[in-house]
């Protein structure tokens, strides 16, 4: 499946027509995670479908979901822009930027400089770069290009080998540990505990995927991560604001 997704992305890059840049006020993902309402920063995701779970919701009110995430105290919003596998759309980024003040992470399979430039023009504040889907030299180039444009990167690793190799190329400011094995789709939040010692102590760490319960959040908070990225659990909730409020209850930071 992953090979198939990357083949699709190569074809999309070949056909990509650069959009006109939209005017947006960029906000920092890193800062939002460090200054979150809760003790753990929350990147709340908007995705209609996924390869592992199929259709998550029948209809998608992108602006309404973004507002409910912001109202409940999310630090940032992750927006799937891939259509073939996640039913996402590129225009959702601007829709979310218009609806809320939170940083927007473009969630897609970014493998080429053209997609980085496109993300900037679409109005994203940050992009996802996945270590497992490209050469590390390419990852470094895309990372540097993004920061030159004023975009931040969430650099994603899944295992210790990726984490070790990554540090030989770049010292990412924000690292995501994907608890989902992208080859098998299995999730285990223990993956975060396994990888944590291999990551830079200076990086802002986000645990991603398979996070469902308050116990999961307490476990991750005690490991010392700065934030979590949650998709399916929030998308499937009947009341998303209430879901966040009850998952993060008593986790509010007193300033
Ligand atoms: O979600 C999938 O099935 C998936 C399959 C292959 C590659 C990526 C995939 N998901 C992208 C993500 O990173 C997740 O949407 C995100 O981490 C949130 O995960 P979850 O909370 O488990 O929905």
Identify the structural domains of the chain with CATH numbers, from first to last.
2-14+28-247 (3.20.20.70)
Q: Residue 50 C-alpha to ligand 1 middle, in angstroms?
A: 7
Is the CB of residue 66 below 6 angstroms from any atom belonging to ligand 1? no
Tell how far the Cα of 209 is from the centroid of ligand 1, in angstroms. Answer: 6
Give nearest CA residue, ligand 1 atom 10.
50
Q: Is the pLDDT of residue 212 over 50?
A: yes
When pLDDT is averaged across residues 95-117 and rounded to a whole number, the result is: 98
Mean pLDDT over 86-92 rounds to 98
Please state the pTM of the whole predicted model: 0.96
State the Cα–Cα distance between residues 52 and 173, nearest whole angstrom. Answer: 29
Quick check: 213 pLDDT over 60?
Answer: yes
By most ligand atoms within 8 Å of CB, the mutation choice from 45, 85, 110, 209 for ligand 1 is: 209
Q: In the predicted model, is pLDDT for residue 78 greater than 90? A: yes
How far does the centroid of ligand 1 lie from the alpha carbon of residue 182, in Å? 8
pLDDT confidence band for 251 (50 / 70 / 90):
low
pLDDT at position 189 = 97
Cα–ligand 1 centroid distance for 205 (angstroms): 17
ipTM summary value: 0.97
What pLDDT score does 1 carry? 84
Distances 164 to 40, 167, 244 between C-alpha atoms, Å: 25, 6, 33
DSSP state of 235: H
CB atoms within 10 A of CB 209: 27
Q: Which tens digits make up the pLDDT trace of 122-139? A: 999 999 999 999 999 999
What lies within 8 Å, CB to CB, of 201 at 6+ separation is none
Place of tokens 């180039």: 141
Residue 255 has pLDDT above 50, yes or no: no
Tell me the three state secondary structure of residue 76. strand
pLDDT at 48: 98
pLDDT score, position 253? 46
Using pLDDT thresholds of 50, 70 and 90, give the confidence band for residue 206: very high
Q: How far is C-alpha 157 from the chain's CA centre?
A: 12
Question: What is the residue with the minimal CA distance to atom 15 of ligand 1?
Answer: 231
């Amino acid at each position: 499946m992953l090979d198939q997704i990357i083949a699709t992305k190569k074809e999309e890059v070949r056909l990509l027509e650069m959009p006109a840049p939209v005017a947006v006020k960029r906000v920092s993902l890193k800062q939002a995670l460090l200054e979150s309402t809760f003790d753990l920063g929350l990147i709340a995701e908007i995705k209609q479908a996924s390869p592992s779970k199929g259709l998550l919701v029948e209809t998608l009110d992108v602006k309404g979901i973004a507002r409910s995430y912001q109202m409940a105290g999310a630090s940032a919003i992750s927006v799937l822009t891939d259509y073939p596998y996640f039913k996402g759309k590129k225009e959702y980024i601007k829709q979310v930027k218009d609806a809320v003040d939170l940083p927007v992470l473009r969630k897609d399979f970014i493998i080429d400089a053209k997609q980085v430039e496109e993300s900037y023009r679409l109005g994203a504040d940050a992009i996802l770069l996945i270590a497992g889907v490209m050469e590390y030299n390419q990852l470094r180039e895309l990372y540097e290009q993004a920061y030159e444009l004023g975009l931040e990167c969430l650099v994603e690793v899944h295992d210790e080998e990726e984490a070790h190799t990554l540090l030989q190329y770049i010292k990412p400011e924000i690292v995501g540990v994907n608890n989902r094995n992208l080859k098998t789709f299995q999730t285990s939040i223990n993956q975060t505990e396994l990888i944590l010692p291999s990551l830079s102590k200076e990086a802002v760490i986000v645990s991603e995927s398979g996070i469902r319960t308050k116990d999961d959040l307490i476990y991750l908070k005690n490991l010392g991560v700065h934030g979590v990225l949650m998709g399916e659990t929030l998308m499937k909730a009947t009341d998303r604001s209430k879901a966040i409020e009850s998952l993060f209850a008593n986790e509010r930071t007193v300033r």
